[in-house]
Amino acid sequence: MLLSASVITLGVPNLALAGGFLDGSYPSMQSAIAFLSLLCYVVVGAAVAVAILSGLRMASGGRGTSRGIRAIALVLAGVILLSLSVISRVDTGNGICCGGGAQQVREAESLAR
């Protein structure tokens, strides 16, 4: 459920845009959100992997991960997913302060004069 909620709320991660956040140029808001979305997928994937591996270990009769650790991992992944989905829904990406486009830079320069 957590993985499907990630895909529904954040969409498929855009690796090229997320890589643009780390390429050394001035990052745009869209590249920052893409990078945070990618990090969210990593956290959600890790939480799901912990839950699955723990369930498989318990099913095979071995000692599984404590319920507290599984619960904390899943709640943390859910909170991160919720906060990033709110950010991606609220941000329009058209702000003059965070845009990296040439038009936004020219507008900021003219306003500064």
The structure tokens listed for 29 are: 């808001």
Express as a percent the part of the chain with pLDDT over 70. 72
How many domains is the chain built from? 1
- So what's the pLDDT on residue 16? 86
- So what's the pLDDT on residue 108? 67
Distance CA 68, CA 16 (A): 36
For 10-63, write each residue's pLDDT tens digit: 778 888 888 888 887 777 778 888 888 888 888 888 888 887 887 777 777 766
- So what's the pLDDT on residue 96? 43
Over residues 70-88, the mean pLDDT reads 75
- So what's the pLDDT on residue 63? 65
Domain with 33 in it: 2-112
